[in-house]
């Protein structure tokens, strides 16, 4: 695997992102990691980086800020880490590109440089969410590539989502649902009703679904516009932090309670997670209960190449998980499988 990683972008210090790459480079010794960023600053912070045999430094002077206009920035900053990374992917010098930077800029650069699959109107970002029964995961798209969508985008996203899910989960009969305000036929705006009618021609379409269906495992792929999808995943991320904080507070109170309360409520259970303090290691172990198997980045479906887009607040562990995800996508040859199935259905 040859993986390009943008460490210039995002809201975290580049040193933290780089630490994630260095950890993964030791884990995947047979892979090549192309670190795209300010080479001088990287060498200043990590003097021994040139001695790591499976790491290559790609100098990128410009950075596209999170608040910049995507199209204007991509056209103006050709030497930005995002533009350089996508170009390396086009030239097949890397197999997959990951950036935690400006989402719009990464999408625009990918479309302009790589192009779209034949007949596709717009790409879509897709990510997984966990299920309450631990039986698989639910794919939701779009989660941010296109805030405004047309009926045709929904239809094509349903096709892309089904192909991607089949390839990565290896499930034959993939079920698809349209995110709506109710499951009954006829719910939603006139636009959503038209989308529902169009999606009825998709194999595996189950009709309307509500947000709880994303978590309860009743559908494999959930289709929505990018604005709604992005809102859903951010609410889920926020609620995860809220839930973990409440559990930490609750268990800490139990540990400080009287002896009979500890026995009644299970001191050993509490201690297994927190001990006498909520250490980062215990927090991480507990947080994994609420995480899908594939997280750390969303995949940009529909462009001619594998592009992963991370959260702006992407942490060291997120980078490591994104790299794990990238390796899985390469091993399963996801891009070629989606491309082959897409062309077959055109």
For residue range 79-96, list pLDDT tens digits in order. 999 999 999 999 999 999
Distance CA 127, CA 326 (A): 13
pTM: 0.85
Q: Which of 93-97, 125-129, 252-256, 304-308 has the lowest mean pLDDT?
A: 252-256
Mean pLDDT of 43-53: 91
Q: In terms of pLDDT, which residue wins out, 268 or 209?
A: 209
Mean pLDDT of 155-173: 90
- Residue 78, pLDDT > 80, answer yes
Q: Which tokens belong to 179? A: 């995110």
Q: What is the mean pLDDT of the chain?
A: 84
Percent of the chain with pLDDT over 90: 50
Distance CA 60, CA 38 (A): 5
What pLDDT score was predicted for residue 141? 92
Distance CA 193, CA 319 (A): 39
Distance CA 57, CA 38 (A): 9
- Residue 278, pLDDT > 60, answer no
Mean pLDDT of 25-46: 92
Closest CA to 159 of 115, 107, 109, 123: 123
Q: Which tokens belong to 248? A: 């930490």
Mean pLDDT of 263-284: 51
Residues contacting 2, CB < 8 A, separation 6+: 31, 32, 34, 93, 94, 95, 96
Q: In terms of pLDDT, which residue wins out, 72 or 290?
A: 72
What pLDDT score was predicted for residue 287? 52
- Residue 165, pLDDT > 50, answer yes
- Contact between residue 84 and residue 60 where contact means Cβ atoms under 8 Å apart: yes
């Amino acid at each position: 695997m040859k993986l390009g990683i943008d460490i210039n972008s995002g809201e975290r210090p580049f040193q933290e992102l780089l630490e994630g790459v260095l950890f993964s480079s030791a884990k995947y010794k047979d892979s090549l990691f192309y670190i795209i960023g300010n080479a001088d600053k990287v060498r200043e912070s990590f003097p021994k980086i040139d001695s790591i045999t499976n790491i290559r430094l790609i100098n990128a002077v410009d950075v596209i800020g999170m608040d910049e206009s995507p199209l204007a920035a991509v056209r103006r900053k050709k030497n930005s880490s995002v533009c350089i990374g996508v170009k390396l992917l086009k030239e097949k010098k890397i197999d997959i590109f990951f950036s935690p930077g400006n989402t719009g800029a990464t999408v625009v650069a990918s479309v302009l440089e790589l192009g779209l699959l034949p007949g596709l109107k717009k790409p879509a970002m897709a990510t997984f969410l966990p299920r309450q029964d631990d039986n698989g995961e639910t794919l939701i798209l779009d989660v941010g590539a296109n805030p405004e969508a047309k009926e045709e985008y929904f239809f094509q996203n349903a096709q892309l989502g089904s192909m991607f899910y089949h390839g990565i989960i290896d499930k034959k009969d993939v079920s698809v649902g349209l995110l709506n305000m109710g499951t009954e036929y006829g719910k939603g705006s006139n636009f959503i009703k038209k989308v529902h009618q169009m999606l009825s021609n998709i194999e595996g379409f189950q009709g309307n679904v509500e947000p709880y269906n994303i978590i309860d495992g009743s559908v494999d792929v959930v289709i929505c516009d990018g604005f709604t999808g992005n809102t859903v995943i951010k609410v889920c991320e926020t609620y995860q932090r809220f839930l973990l904080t409440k559990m930490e507070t609750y268990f800490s109170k139990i540990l400080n309670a009287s002896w009979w309360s500890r026995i009644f409520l299970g001191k050993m259970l509490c201690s297994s997670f927190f001990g006498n303090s909520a250490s980062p290691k215990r927090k991480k172990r507990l947080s994994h209960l609420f995480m899908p198997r594939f997280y750390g980045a969303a995949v940009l479906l529909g462009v001619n190449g594998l592009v992963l887009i991370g959260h702006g607040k992407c942490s060291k562990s997120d980078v490591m998980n994104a790299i794990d995800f990238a390796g899985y996508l390469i091993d399963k040859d996801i891009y070629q499988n989606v491309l082959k199935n897409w062309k077959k259905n055109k």
